[in-house]
Homo-oligomer: A and B are copies of this chain.
Amino acid sequence: MGDPGLFKLQFAPFSSALDVGFWHELTQKKLNEYRLDEAPKDIKGYYYNGDSAGLPARLTLEFSAFDMSAPTPAHCCPAVGTLYNTNTLESFKTADKKLLLEQAANEIWESIKSGAALENPVLLNKFLLLTFADLKKYHFYYWFCYPALCLPESIPLIQGPVGLDQRFSSKQIQALERAYDDLCQTEGVTALPYFLIKYDDNMVRVSLLKHYSDFFQGQRIKSSSFQSVEVLCFRDRTMQGARDIAHSIIFEVKLPEMAFSPDCPKAVGWEKNQKGGMGPRMVNLSECMDPKRLAESSVDLNLKLMCWRLVPTLDLEKVVSVKCLLLGAGTLGCNVARTLMGWGVRHVTFVDNAKISYSNPVRQPLYEFEDCLGGGKPKALAAADRLQKIFPGVNARGFNMSIPMPGHPVNFSNITLEQARKDVEQLEQLIESHDVIFLLMDTRESRWLPAVIAASKRKLVINAALGFDTFVVMRHGLKKPKQQGAGDLCPNHSVASADLLGSSLFANIPGYKLGCYFCNDVVAPGDSTRDRTLDQQCTVSRPGLAMIAGALAVELMVSVLQHPEGGYAIASSSDDRMNEPPTSLGLVPHQVLDQYEREGFNFLAKVFNSSQSFLEDLTGLTLLHQETQAAEIWDMSDDETI
């Protein structure tokens, strides 16, 4: 590495060569491991003595820099460094670089004095790296330092520098190659940063620094009585398949007559920036990264930042990996999808049978005016397309299909029974292949079938519905897993009933005892669209409401997913919405579930084609109505007697 001056020994400083892989790895470490930890980190670089002439001496750091046990690349020499990665640009700017350099120089000095450097000369290859990673912009700021101890006086050259081939015969050069290779092989490395050499016309020997005494003992040492030392700057190049060390440089220096002071000499080594001034260097990786990967990393970043300090226990993977089925791609569906994107959810599927109309885009934030032209694109497909446009890393699909509904007959009008059967099968498959089912439709009865299927398949259901200035956001109870070998009997019906008898009205309610959207209803779902005036349709709500409900629905899902028991998480009774007596929860759908699991589509077809009374008979609502009516009559007679 010596680049000789005219008469005095001078050093060519290392140029830092920080690979893109290094910055990526730093990004990952910072995000997932260091987070807010600013403590110095051990890192590792390497340099190569076989570069073509004219190239600066480079100290390279790549993705492996953070793995201290990673092998050094072939024919390269390792360098050990310390990374100071700051949390803020401000502390990067105000870091005490003088102090850092002094500390590093002192460590080198101590390793020389103690002999540790002889034992492990890599200690001399020490470097510092001060960084600030702006992970939002993919801008990386850094200072690199390769400390060089400044001896109190300059070192005069006695001889040289000359090329090795001017001093050594080709036989000697070959002997050096052999000796060097043998030593490397013995040491199990492919390059040695430092080694001892002794030679005469007939032989060349090399050895490790730590064998100094033995190696030179009884030998005639070139250069008289340690007043001077001959230095070989070993270069080991391969050009066009042929090895070449002949261009190594050799020279002789006069050793300084310094008193062995215990104090560390002054040191220099902070690298100048690209402009040649004393300032930090900056790398802008956003320009050279694949924009789509950049988008993915950036989205992850915001999420991971939550884990650094605010919610260290947040299990992001549980959220990001969840597969969400959105039934309804209207006002609620669009807002739920947007919030899921914000949470980094990668798998979103829409189901809707409507087309985008002109009033939609201002309230349904996945659509634009263009989508309304020519009769309007199908919502489910357009919504999936839009998610891809927002974030190419998402896996979004859309199914333009109807959900069969109670009281909406399927065996006449336009929809055939066969189509309904296919729709049910499709819906069953979709629910099966997703983890969380969002009910975001604009009618009550369209929520019925998916609620039943999802309950049967033990999927988490999140339900949101809008009024004018009210809304419901709820999770459905998650039934306990089916008992093996218990036949077709729905296990929850009896179990839940028994459990509920013993539970206090205001006790915390476990997830499997929670009900569904229809549990508190006293009217079974039927066709609610037949006789609605325009202003009774669900889009007549305060415009801000869908955003609030959509956002809360996703936040509810995230909270449930974070619970160790997931969908079985206990509903806190401190929540006002839970002050309903739990005995009325969780009972109604079980008869339905039982029938669905036993009879499948035949049962469903009956529901679609029948009047409300079919479901009301099945679930006992008819009985309830009769009893209520009886009670009312009783009350009236009671009044009359007064």
Contact = CB atoms under 8 A, between A and B. Distances in A.
A588 to B, nearest CB: 28
A545 B535 contact: no
Contacts of A533: 36, 87-88, 308
B136 A308 contact: no
A328 B151 CA distance: 57
A295 interface: yes
A545 to B, nearest CB: 7
A287 B367 CA distance: 19
Contacts of A548: 547-548, 551-552
Given A533-B87, A542-B555, A544-B555, A358 B294 contact: yes
A343 B363 CA distance: 9
A392 B299 CA distance: 30
A90 interface: yes
Contacts of A390: 361-362, 367-369
Interface in A524-578: 530-537, 539-540, 542-545, 547-548, 550-552, 554-555, 558
B306 A468 contact: yes
Interface string A336-380: 001101111000000000000111011101011110110100000
A88 B543 contact: no
A6 interface: no
Nearest to A293: B358
B551 A544 contact: yes
A301 interface: yes
A79 interface: no
Contact of A373 (B137, B291, B343): B291
A370 B389 contact: yes
A540 B302 contact: yes
A292 B548 CA distance: 29
B295 A534 contact: no
A372 B306 contact: no
A535 B36 contact: yes
B358 A341 contact: no
User: Which DSSP category, helix, strand, loop or mixed, fits chain A's interface?
Assistant: helix
A310 B531 CA distance: 18
14 contacts: A87-B533, A291-B369, A292-B369, A295-B372, A305-B537, A305-B540, A308-B534, A335-B547, A338-B362, A344-B362, A362-B390, A542-B555, A544-B551, A544-B555
- Residue among A134, A287, A341, A361 with max Cβ neighbours from chain B (10 Å): A361
A339 B365 CA distance: 10
A391 interface: yes
Contacts of A137: 357
A91 interface: yes
Interface string A6-42: 0000000000000000000000000000011000000
Interface string A371-405: 01101000000000000011110000000000000
A585 interface: no
Contacts of A539: 302, 305
A414 B580 CA distance: 62
Contact of A342 (B91, B310, B372, B543): B543
Interface in A98-150: 134-137
A444 to B, nearest CB: 17
Nearest to A300: B359
A363 B302 contact: yes
Contacts of A531: 88, 90-91
A271 B367 CA distance: 40
A287 B369 CA distance: 15
A359 to B, nearest CB: 4
B468 A547 contact: no
Interface centre among A35, A339, A372, A534 (most CB of B within 10 A): A534
A554 B295 CA distance: 30
Given A305-B534, A310-B540, A548-B548, A291 B372 contact: yes
A275 interface: no
A361 B391 contact: yes
A611 interface: no
A299 B535 contact: no
A404 B554 CA distance: 37
A137 B356 CA distance: 10
Given A361-B390, A547-B548, 20 more contacts: A36-B535, A90-B530, A136-B537, A287-B375, A295-B369, A298-B357, A299-B359, A302-B359, A302-B363, A305-B535, A305-B540, A310-B535, A338-B362, A338-B547, A361-B391, A367-B390, A368-B389, A369-B390, A542-B558, A544-B550
Q: Which 6 A-B pairs give the minimum distances between C-beta atoms?
A: A342-B543, A544-B551, A298-B359, A298-B358, A87-B533, A547-B551
A369 B357 contact: no
Contacts of A286: 358, 375
Contacts of A361: 295, 390-391
Given A551-B547, A554-B544, A535 B308 contact: yes
